[in-house]
């Protein structure tokens, strides 16, 4: 099994954790933002191969690994909903991060004059970016109100959430100061070696 991706990516991190939990024989080929466009048709990481099989999304990769190891992937609707909600927040947060990193565009840029931006932005574009930022806040609020797991055996929904929160804090995208439940959840996740050994802060 070969996993292509960046060690800092929360999507790649989730796959790495599952590969280790399932005790698979695998290797990581580090792939940056530019080279991912050449390797994967989706132009993003992770990208995964196992013999003739090629998978281009972290969810399908994790499902494959779990089922090949005789384990269930998102066995109930509660897990699936938590996983889906976390995915939405992760995609949104990463998109805003890359817009700022690559193009210098921030959600508040929609309020500024177009001459300060690298691409033209009208009111609709500015409102769209602000909507994405609001989505992160409302999503975190919803997650904080949920009954989260603090057990040593985490589901893939739990692992997804832990990977997202840790990455978003590492990249200074969010703060959990107002979200005590999420803060406790991440603190608990960070007590387990299988999770902490893949931390982006350790790279």
Tell me the pLDDT tens digit for each residue of 51-73: 999 999 999 999 999 999 999 99
Domain termination site, one of 20, 43, 68:
68
| Bigger pLDDT: 101 vs 180 | 180
Same domain? For 93 and 17 the reply is no
Domain match, 62 and 84 both: no
pLDDT digits (tens, 9 = 90+) for 13-42: 999 999 999 999 999 999 876 666 567 677
Q: Whole-angstrom Cα distance, residue 48 to residue 42?
A: 12
Examine the fold and report which residue of 68, 101, 121 is the final residue of a domain before the chain moves on: 68
More confident residue, 101 or 10: 10
Q: What is the CATH number of the domain that holds 54?
A: 3.40.30.10
pLDDT band at 117 (very low <50, low <70, confident <90, very high): very low
- 167-202 confidence digits (pLDDT tens): 999 999 999 999 999 999 999 999 988 899 999 888
Q: pLDDT tens digit string along 73-92? A: 999 999 999 999 999 999 99
Do 140 and 61 fall within a single domain? Answer: no
pLDDT digits (tens, 9 = 90+) for 123-180: 455 678 888 899 999 999 999 999 998 877 789 999 999 999 999 999 999 999 999 9
Give the per-residue pLDDT at 114.
42
Q: How far apart are CA 3 and CA 144, in angstroms?
A: 32
User: What pairing do the DSSP bridges indicate for beta strands 47-50 and 53-55?
Assistant: antiparallel
Q: What is the pLDDT of residue 107?
A: 73
pLDDT score recorded for residue 202:
82
**Statement to judge: residues 49 and 118 lie in one domain:** no
Residues 46 and 86 grouped into a single domain: no
Q: What is the pTM of this model?
A: 0.87
The CATH code of the domain that includes 96 is 1.20.1050.10
Residues 10 and 89 in one domain: no
Q: For the chain, what's the residue count?
A: 203
- Pairwise pLDDT comparison (41 vs 112), residue with the higher score: 41
- Assess whether 113 and 194 both reside in one domain: yes
What confidence score (pLDDT) does residue 33 get? Answer: 64
* Contact (CB, 8 A) for 18 and 65: yes
Residue-number span of the structural domain to which 165 is assigned: 77-202
Total structural domains within the chain: 2
């Amino acid at each position: 099994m070969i996993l292509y991706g960046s060690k800092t990516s929360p999507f790649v991190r989730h796959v790495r954790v599952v590969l280790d939990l399932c005790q698979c024989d695998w290797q990581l080929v580090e792939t940056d933002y530019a080279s991912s466009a050449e390797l994967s048709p989706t132009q993003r990481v992770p990208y995964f191969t196992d013999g003739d099989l090629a998978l281009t999304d972290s969810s399908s990769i994790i499902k494959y690994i779990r089922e090949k190891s005789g384990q269930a992937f998102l066995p109930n609707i509660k897990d699936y909903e938590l996983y889906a909600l976390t995915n939405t927040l992760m995609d949104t947060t990463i998109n805003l991060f890359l817009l700022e990193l690559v193009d210098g565009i921030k959600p508040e840029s929609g309020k500024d004059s177009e001459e300060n931006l690298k691409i033209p932005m009208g009111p609709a574009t500015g409102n769209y970016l602000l909507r994405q930022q609001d989505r992160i806040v409302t999503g975190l609020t919803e997650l904080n109100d949920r009954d989260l797991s603090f057990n040593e055996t985490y589901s893939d929904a739990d692992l997804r959430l832990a990977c997202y929160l840790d990455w978003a804090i590492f990249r200074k995208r969010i703060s959990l100061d107002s979200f005590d439940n999420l803060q406790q959840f991440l603190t608990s996740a960070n007590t387990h070696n299988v999770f902490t050994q893949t931390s982006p802060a350790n790279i």
